[in-house]
Amino acid sequence: MEELGRLSPADFESKEKTPLTLVMDNVRSALNVGSAFRTADAFAITQIYLCGITATPPHREILKTALGATDTISWAHFSTPLEAIEKLKKEGWTVLAVEQAEGAVELQNFQFEPGEKYALIFGNEVGGVSDEAMEVVDGCLEIPQFGTKHSLNIAVSIGVVVWDLFKKIRF
């Protein structure tokens, strides 16, 4: 790790975080949750909110894919995504669903507003972001797709969206 110039967990904790929060809305796969933690660590995002049936650490499958990121990324569990969204909005976060929906902004067209904090909601692997959450979000982002499938794996979607916003925020 020293050769790669990676931070220690203590140094990471005091590092300025990227103003992004991941909200996992009833995600079924603990492996996908672990991947979200690992991506969150890679881009030093603020936190992850796990909602509903989404597994929480120290679940074995989360730990398998997170590779220690559950120790570096702040997280909390909420009974429903609505509880998480309410808390985020009270704290001044702009809440965006990542979903294929009418009126969604394609990711490449999304303009990051300096000084804003964004919470990104990723939904269940089958049903997507819950209808209840979609009713109260501030907007929606969509990853454009050009093949025959209608969706991406949630872990891939998180990587694509977080990298795109990280570039817009940091560079």
- Rounded alpha-carbon distances, angstroms, from residue 145 to 21, 103, 107, 125, 166: 24, 16, 11, 17, 20
Assigned domain for 3 exists: no
Assigned domain for 4 exists: no
pLDDT in tens, 72-122: 999 999 999 999 999 999 999 999 999 999 999 999 999 999 999 999 999
pLDDT in tens, 69-79: 999 999 999 99
pLDDT in tens, 6-40: 888 888 888 899 999 999 999 999 999 999 999 99
Is the model's pLDDT at 1 over the cut of 60? Answer: no
Assigned domain for 2 exists: no
Instruction: Decide if 86 contacts 80 (C-beta within 8 A).
Output: no
Assigned domain for 40 exists: yes
pLDDT at 97: 98
Domain count within the chain: 1
Parent domain of 161 = 9-108+116-170
Assigned domain for 127 exists: yes
CA distance 163 to 160: 5
User: In this structure, what CATH number is given to the domain that contains residue 135?
Assistant: 3.40.1280.10
The pTM of the full predicted model, rounded to 2 decimals, is 0.95
Assigned domain for 14 exists: yes
Assigned domain for 47 exists: yes
Fill in the DSSP letter of residue 155.
Answer: H
Assigned domain for 1 exists: no
β strands within the chain, DSSP E: 18-25, 45-51, 74-78, 94-98, 105-106, 118-122, 139-142
Provide the β-strand partners of residue 78: 51
